[in-house]
Amino acid sequence: MSASPMEAPLLEAPLLEASDLALRYGAVPALDGVSLAIWPGEVVAIVGESGSGKTTLLRVLSGLLPPDAGSVLYRDPEGRAQRLEAMGEAALRRLHRTDWGFVHQNPRDGLRLGVSAGGNIGERLMATGARHYGSIREAAIAWLRRVEIDPARIDALPRTFSGGMQQRLQIARTLVTHPRLIFMDEPTGGLDVSVQARLLDLIRALVADLGLAVLLVTHDIAAARLLAHRILVMRHGKVVEEGLTDRVLDDPQHAYTQLLVASVLAA
């Protein structure tokens, strides 16, 4: 069904909107009144030191963890707004298979290491209904090329790949179904600096080519500067500062952001 002119403005609305999220682990407030919105095609980085609540926020925004309070609203491709908390588990799983992608810090969490590289990409396509073996294999080859993995490795097991290759394969597996919104949790964490730089370049090119919206959790300010349009700074479960990337990093207003930026400059 095509959108009528009456509905068109909805497409200009945020893709995901969270309001007043709260979550405690015992006495620890992991999230404390967090609100945010991400727009189609926008890359938003969530930065902050270890324990500030970044991963918890990403898990709540992607429906993997229910908050104690607050809500998350997602707009589907037809412009319909849906509350994650009211969505059944099956609908949420479908979102994760189709419209959304999740890139984990550890490729082991996002890949099946005992399944071939091509199988890892192909099975995600099959989960969205693809059945034709030839075209699934063709898509897998195209995606291996796109993430700079030699297609001759299509039948190799990812456990024989380097960390950087595994991460690139995880990205191919995530993007093959053309999701609109990608959640990334420290995608370059644990990799050597030169491998990180190559991966960041690849992510930047793919995100721009495909017009993806990305929620990126990172403690790497340089990665946030390279990839993000906007930055949210978290501390003790709260967003203490947010704004356009250059503004936040070049002219930080909150004392904690100033400290975070200064510690990178000093490193």
Ligand X SMILES: Nc1ncnc2c1ncn2[C@@H]1O[C@H](COP(=O)(O)OP(=O)(O)OP(=O)(O)O)[C@@H](O)[C@H]1O
Of 33-41, 49-57, 109-117, 120-128: span binding ligand X (CB under 6 A): 49-57
DSSP assignment of 194-245 equals: HHHHHHHHHHHHHHHHHT-EEEEE-S-HHHHHHH-SEEEEEETTEEEEEEEH
- Judged by CB under 6 A, the residue of 50, 89, 129, 265 near ligand X is 50
Q: Does 52 bind ligand X (CB under 6 A)?
A: yes
Q: Does 25 bind ligand X (CB under 6 A)?
A: yes
Alpha-carbon span 64 to 58, nearest angstrom: 9
Per-residue interface string for the shown chain with ligand X, residues 190-209, x marking contact by CB under 6 A: --------------------
- Judged by CB under 6 A, the residue of 44, 56, 73, 260 near ligand X is 56
Q: At its nearest, how many Å lie between ligand X and the CB of residue 265?
A: 20
Of 50-58, 114-122, 129-137, 248-256: span binding ligand X (CB under 6 A): 50-58
Alpha-carbon span 76 to 99, nearest angstrom: 8
Q: Does 30 bind ligand X (CB under 6 A)?
A: yes
Q: At its nearest, how many Å lie between ligand X and the CB of residue 26?
A: 7
Q: Does 219 bind ligand X (CB under 6 A)?
A: yes
**What's the Rg (C-alpha) of the chain?**
19
Q: Does 229 bind ligand X (CB under 6 A)?
A: no
Taken in order 106, 217, 120, 88, the sign of the CA dihedral is positive
Query: In this structure, are residues 21 and 60 in contact, taking their beta carbons and an 8 Å threshold?
Result: yes
Alpha-carbon span 3 to 70, nearest angstrom: 30
Of 44-52, 140-148, 201-209, 258-266: span binding ligand X (CB under 6 A): 44-52
- Judged by CB under 6 A, the residue of 16, 36, 47, 54 near ligand X is 54
Q: Does 27 bind ligand X (CB under 6 A)?
A: no
- Judged by CB under 6 A, the residue of 17, 42, 45, 53 near ligand X is 53
Q: What pairing do the DSSP bridges indicate for beta strands 100-103 and 181-185?
A: parallel
Count of residues touching ligand X (by CB under 6 A): 12
User: By CB under 6 A, what part of segment 117-176 binds ligand X?
Assistant: none
- Judged by CB under 6 A, the residue of 13, 14, 22, 55 near ligand X is 55
Query: In this structure, are residues 21 and 226 in contact, taking their beta carbons and an 8 Å threshold?
Result: no
Distance in Å from the first CA to the final CA of the chain:
54
- Sheet (strand 81-83) strand order: 28-38, 16-25, 69-75, 81-83
Per DSSP, the three-state class of 30 is strand
Q: Does 104 bind ligand X (CB under 6 A)?
A: no
Report the interface residues with ligand X, using CB under 6 A: 25, 28, 30, 48, 50-56, 219
